[in-house]
A = this chain, B = another copy of it.
Amino acid sequence: MKNKLTLVKVGGQIVEEPETLKQLLNDFSNLEGHKVLVHGGGRAATRIAGQLGIESKMVNGRRVTDADMLQVVTMVYGGLVNKQIVAGLQALNVNALGLTGADMNYMRSEKRPVKDVDYGFVGDVKEVNADILASLINEGVVPVLAPLTHDKQGNLLNTNADTIAGEAAKALAQYFDVTLMFCFEKKGVLRNPDDEDSMIPEITKPAFDAFVADGTIQGGMIPKLENAFEAIAAGVKEVIISKADEIGKGTGTVVK
Protein backbone atom coordinates (compact mmCIF):
# COMPACT_ATOMS: atom_id res chain seq x y z
CA MET A 1 0.00 0.00 0.00
CA LYS A 2 1.19 3.47 -0.87
CA ASN A 3 1.46 6.20 1.73
CA LYS A 4 -0.91 9.13 1.56
CA LEU A 5 0.32 12.48 0.24
CA THR A 6 -1.61 15.74 0.15
CA LEU A 7 -0.61 18.30 -2.46
CA VAL A 8 -2.10 21.72 -1.80
CA LYS A 9 -2.12 24.49 -4.38
CA VAL A 10 -2.82 28.00 -3.17
CA GLY A 11 -3.14 31.13 -5.27
CA GLY A 12 -1.27 34.35 -5.03
CA GLN A 13 -3.79 36.30 -3.00
CA ILE A 14 -3.55 33.99 0.00
CA VAL A 15 0.23 33.87 0.21
CA GLU A 16 0.68 37.61 -0.25
CA GLU A 17 -1.34 38.86 2.73
CA PRO A 18 0.49 38.29 6.05
CA GLU A 19 -2.71 37.32 7.88
CA THR A 20 -4.07 34.83 5.34
CA LEU A 21 -0.56 33.44 4.81
CA LYS A 22 -0.18 32.84 8.53
CA GLN A 23 -3.51 31.00 8.66
CA LEU A 24 -2.64 28.95 5.59
CA LEU A 25 0.74 27.89 6.97
CA ASN A 26 -0.86 26.92 10.27
CA ASP A 27 -3.56 24.83 8.57
CA PHE A 28 -1.03 23.29 6.20
CA SER A 29 1.35 22.42 9.05
CA ASN A 30 -1.50 20.56 10.78
CA LEU A 31 -2.16 18.29 7.79
CA GLU A 32 -1.06 14.77 8.66
CA GLY A 33 1.20 12.66 6.51
CA HIS A 34 3.36 13.56 3.56
CA LYS A 35 2.61 16.86 1.88
CA VAL A 36 3.62 19.33 -0.81
CA LEU A 37 2.67 23.00 -1.20
CA VAL A 38 2.43 24.77 -4.57
CA HIS A 39 2.02 28.54 -4.61
CA GLY A 40 1.29 31.35 -7.01
CA GLY A 41 2.38 34.93 -6.63
CA GLY A 42 0.93 36.85 -9.54
CA ARG A 43 -0.26 39.84 -7.55
CA ALA A 44 3.13 40.37 -5.94
CA ALA A 45 4.76 40.04 -9.37
CA THR A 46 2.40 42.67 -10.79
CA ARG A 47 3.10 44.97 -7.84
CA ILE A 48 6.91 44.65 -7.97
CA ALA A 49 6.90 44.90 -11.78
CA GLY A 50 4.87 48.11 -11.48
CA GLN A 51 7.37 49.53 -8.98
CA LEU A 52 10.15 48.70 -11.47
CA GLY A 53 8.25 50.43 -14.28
CA ILE A 54 7.45 47.15 -16.06
CA GLU A 55 3.91 46.80 -17.35
CA SER A 56 2.02 43.54 -16.71
CA LYS A 57 0.31 42.27 -19.86
CA MET A 58 -2.36 39.57 -19.54
CA VAL A 59 -3.95 37.62 -22.39
CA ASN A 60 -6.83 35.20 -21.63
CA GLY A 61 -6.01 35.57 -17.93
CA ARG A 62 -2.41 34.46 -18.49
CA ARG A 63 0.66 36.63 -17.98
CA VAL A 64 2.77 37.54 -21.00
CA THR A 65 6.36 37.03 -19.84
CA ASP A 66 8.95 39.08 -21.70
CA ALA A 67 12.62 39.11 -20.63
CA ASP A 68 12.10 41.81 -17.99
CA MET A 69 9.00 40.10 -16.60
CA LEU A 70 10.90 36.80 -16.44
CA GLN A 71 13.41 38.48 -14.12
CA VAL A 72 10.55 39.78 -11.98
CA VAL A 73 8.80 36.40 -11.65
CA THR A 74 12.14 34.68 -10.98
CA MET A 75 12.71 37.12 -8.11
CA VAL A 76 9.17 37.15 -6.79
CA TYR A 77 8.07 33.52 -7.20
CA GLY A 78 11.48 31.85 -6.68
CA GLY A 79 12.73 34.27 -4.03
CA LEU A 80 10.31 36.51 -2.20
CA VAL A 81 7.17 34.35 -2.02
CA ASN A 82 8.82 30.93 -1.97
CA LYS A 83 11.43 31.66 0.69
CA GLN A 84 8.99 33.48 2.99
CA ILE A 85 6.74 30.41 2.88
CA VAL A 86 9.69 28.10 3.53
CA ALA A 87 10.86 30.18 6.50
CA GLY A 88 7.29 30.36 7.82
CA LEU A 89 6.85 26.58 7.62
CA GLN A 90 10.22 25.94 9.26
CA ALA A 91 9.03 28.02 12.22
CA LEU A 92 6.13 25.54 12.50
CA ASN A 93 8.54 22.58 12.40
CA VAL A 94 7.62 21.65 8.84
CA ASN A 95 10.84 20.71 7.07
CA ALA A 96 10.15 22.79 3.96
CA LEU A 97 12.37 22.96 0.87
CA GLY A 98 11.64 25.57 -1.79
CA LEU A 99 12.03 24.44 -5.39
CA THR A 100 11.73 25.68 -8.94
CA GLY A 101 11.70 23.16 -11.78
CA ALA A 102 15.41 23.86 -12.31
CA ASP A 103 16.30 22.66 -8.80
CA MET A 104 17.46 19.06 -9.16
CA ASN A 105 15.85 19.30 -12.62
CA TYR A 106 12.63 18.12 -11.07
CA MET A 107 10.41 19.71 -13.75
CA ARG A 108 11.54 20.39 -17.30
CA SER A 109 9.49 22.39 -19.77
CA GLU A 110 9.74 23.83 -23.26
CA LYS A 111 9.05 27.41 -24.25
CA ARG A 112 5.48 27.57 -25.52
CA PRO A 113 5.37 27.78 -29.33
CA VAL A 114 3.93 31.03 -30.64
CA LYS A 115 0.50 30.51 -32.18
CA ASP A 116 -2.15 33.22 -31.92
CA VAL A 117 -0.47 34.69 -28.85
CA ASP A 118 3.21 35.05 -27.97
CA TYR A 119 3.24 34.39 -24.24
CA GLY A 120 7.02 34.88 -24.14
CA PHE A 121 9.06 32.96 -21.59
CA VAL A 122 6.32 30.56 -20.59
CA GLY A 123 7.03 26.85 -20.26
CA ASP A 124 4.84 23.87 -21.15
CA VAL A 125 5.80 20.95 -18.88
CA LYS A 126 7.52 18.06 -20.66
CA GLU A 127 9.08 15.94 -17.92
CA VAL A 128 8.72 15.51 -14.16
CA ASN A 129 11.49 13.72 -12.27
CA ALA A 130 9.39 12.65 -9.33
CA ASP A 131 11.86 10.08 -7.99
CA ILE A 132 14.04 12.70 -6.33
CA LEU A 133 10.98 14.47 -4.90
CA ALA A 134 9.59 11.16 -3.63
CA SER A 135 12.85 10.26 -1.95
CA LEU A 136 13.03 13.64 -0.18
CA ILE A 137 9.36 13.38 0.85
CA ASN A 138 10.02 9.93 2.31
CA GLU A 139 12.78 11.49 4.41
CA GLY A 140 10.29 13.99 5.85
CA VAL A 141 11.02 16.93 3.56
CA VAL A 142 8.05 19.05 2.43
CA PRO A 143 8.62 20.51 -1.05
CA VAL A 144 7.31 24.04 -1.64
CA LEU A 145 6.96 24.46 -5.38
CA ALA A 146 7.22 27.86 -7.09
CA PRO A 147 5.51 28.35 -10.46
CA LEU A 148 8.76 28.29 -12.42
CA THR A 149 10.25 25.56 -14.61
CA HIS A 150 13.33 25.41 -16.83
CA ASP A 151 14.20 24.09 -20.28
CA LYS A 152 17.47 22.33 -19.23
CA GLN A 153 19.24 24.72 -21.59
CA GLY A 154 19.82 27.42 -19.03
CA ASN A 155 16.49 29.22 -19.23
CA LEU A 156 13.92 29.56 -16.50
CA LEU A 157 10.32 29.64 -17.71
CA ASN A 158 7.13 30.93 -16.12
CA THR A 159 4.59 28.12 -15.60
CA ASN A 160 1.06 28.36 -14.23
CA ALA A 161 0.84 27.15 -10.62
CA ASP A 162 -2.27 25.00 -11.32
CA THR A 163 -0.26 23.24 -14.02
CA ILE A 164 2.70 22.70 -11.67
CA ALA A 165 0.34 21.24 -9.08
CA GLY A 166 -1.37 18.93 -11.59
CA GLU A 167 1.87 17.70 -13.13
CA ALA A 168 3.57 17.15 -9.77
CA ALA A 169 0.48 15.30 -8.46
CA LYS A 170 0.37 13.01 -11.49
CA ALA A 171 4.07 12.18 -11.30
CA LEU A 172 3.95 11.60 -7.52
CA ALA A 173 0.94 9.26 -7.95
CA GLN A 174 3.48 6.57 -8.87
CA TYR A 175 4.80 6.70 -5.30
CA PHE A 176 1.92 7.91 -3.14
CA ASP A 177 -1.87 7.95 -2.84
CA VAL A 178 -2.20 11.58 -3.84
CA THR A 179 -4.95 13.97 -2.83
CA LEU A 180 -4.66 17.14 -4.90
CA MET A 181 -6.29 20.18 -3.39
CA PHE A 182 -6.88 23.35 -5.39
CA CYS A 183 -7.62 26.25 -3.06
CA PHE A 184 -9.26 29.40 -4.31
CA GLU A 185 -11.58 32.13 -3.04
CA LYS A 186 -14.82 30.08 -3.11
CA LYS A 187 -15.91 27.12 -0.99
CA GLY A 188 -15.86 24.83 -4.03
CA VAL A 189 -17.54 24.53 -7.41
CA LEU A 190 -20.78 26.53 -7.14
CA ARG A 191 -24.02 26.12 -9.11
CA ASN A 192 -24.59 29.81 -8.56
CA PRO A 193 -21.33 31.80 -8.27
CA ASP A 194 -23.01 34.32 -5.93
CA ASP A 195 -24.27 31.68 -3.51
CA GLU A 196 -21.75 29.79 -1.40
CA ASP A 197 -24.53 27.44 -0.29
CA SER A 198 -24.90 26.19 -3.86
CA MET A 199 -21.67 24.20 -3.70
CA ILE A 200 -21.63 20.95 -5.65
CA PRO A 201 -20.26 18.37 -3.17
CA GLU A 202 -19.11 15.85 -5.76
CA ILE A 203 -18.63 16.03 -9.50
CA THR A 204 -18.00 13.35 -12.12
CA LYS A 205 -16.88 13.81 -15.72
CA PRO A 206 -20.39 13.28 -17.22
CA ALA A 207 -21.87 15.72 -14.70
CA PHE A 208 -19.12 18.24 -15.51
CA ASP A 209 -19.82 17.95 -19.24
CA ALA A 210 -23.52 18.55 -18.60
CA PHE A 211 -22.79 21.57 -16.35
CA VAL A 212 -20.57 23.08 -19.04
CA ALA A 213 -23.21 22.43 -21.72
CA ASP A 214 -25.95 24.16 -19.73
CA GLY A 215 -23.70 27.05 -18.64
CA THR A 216 -23.69 26.25 -14.89
CA ILE A 217 -19.89 25.95 -14.95
CA GLN A 218 -18.00 28.56 -16.94
CA GLY A 219 -14.88 30.75 -17.14
CA GLY A 220 -11.74 29.88 -15.17
CA MET A 221 -13.42 26.94 -13.47
CA ILE A 222 -13.46 24.98 -16.75
CA PRO A 223 -9.66 24.61 -17.16
CA LYS A 224 -9.35 24.00 -13.39
CA LEU A 225 -11.78 21.08 -13.59
CA GLU A 226 -10.27 19.79 -16.83
CA ASN A 227 -6.92 19.71 -15.00
CA ALA A 228 -8.60 17.85 -12.16
CA PHE A 229 -10.13 15.15 -14.40
CA GLU A 230 -6.82 14.77 -16.21
CA ALA A 231 -5.10 14.22 -12.86
CA ILE A 232 -7.67 11.59 -11.84
CA ALA A 233 -7.26 9.83 -15.19
CA ALA A 234 -3.49 9.78 -14.61
CA GLY A 235 -3.73 8.08 -11.22
CA VAL A 236 -4.29 10.87 -8.68
CA LYS A 237 -6.65 9.42 -6.11
CA GLU A 238 -8.77 12.44 -5.38
CA VAL A 239 -8.99 16.10 -6.35
CA ILE A 240 -10.65 18.60 -4.04
CA ILE A 241 -11.57 22.15 -5.00
CA SER A 242 -11.97 24.22 -1.87
CA LYS A 243 -11.31 27.43 0.00
CA ALA A 244 -7.84 27.99 1.48
CA ASP A 245 -9.20 28.52 4.97
CA GLU A 246 -10.89 25.12 4.88
CA ILE A 247 -7.71 23.05 4.39
CA GLY A 248 -7.90 19.88 6.42
CA LYS A 249 -11.61 20.23 7.13
CA GLY A 250 -12.76 17.78 4.47
CA THR A 251 -14.99 20.36 2.79
CA GLY A 252 -15.09 21.46 -0.83
CA THR A 253 -16.06 19.88 -4.13
CA VAL A 254 -14.65 16.39 -4.64
CA VAL A 255 -13.78 15.58 -8.24
CA LYS A 256 -14.08 11.89 -9.09
Q: Which of A55-63, A92-100, A233-241, A244-252 has 4 or more CB atoms under 8 Å from chain B?
A: A92-100
Q: Chain A 87-109, CB within 8 Å of chain B: the 1/0 string?
A: 11011000111111011110000
Chain A: interface residue count, which band? Answer: 35 or more
A38 at the B interface (CB under 8 A): no
Closest B residue to A92 using CB positions: B154
Q: Which residues of B contact A48 (CB under 8 A)?
A: 52, 75
Q: How far is the CA of A88 from the CA of B90 in the complex (A)?
A: 28
The prevalent SS among residues of A at the interface is: helix
Q: Which residues of B contact A103 (CB under 8 A)?
A: 83, 86, 96-98
Q: Which of A145-153, A169-177, A202-210 has 4 or more CB atoms under 8 Å from chain B?
A: A145-153
Across the interface, A79 reaches (CB within 8 A) one of B82, B99, B155, namely B82
A residues with a Cβ closer than 8 A to B are: 48, 51-53, 71, 74-80, 82-84, 86-88, 90-91, 95-100, 102-105, 141, 148, 150, 152-156
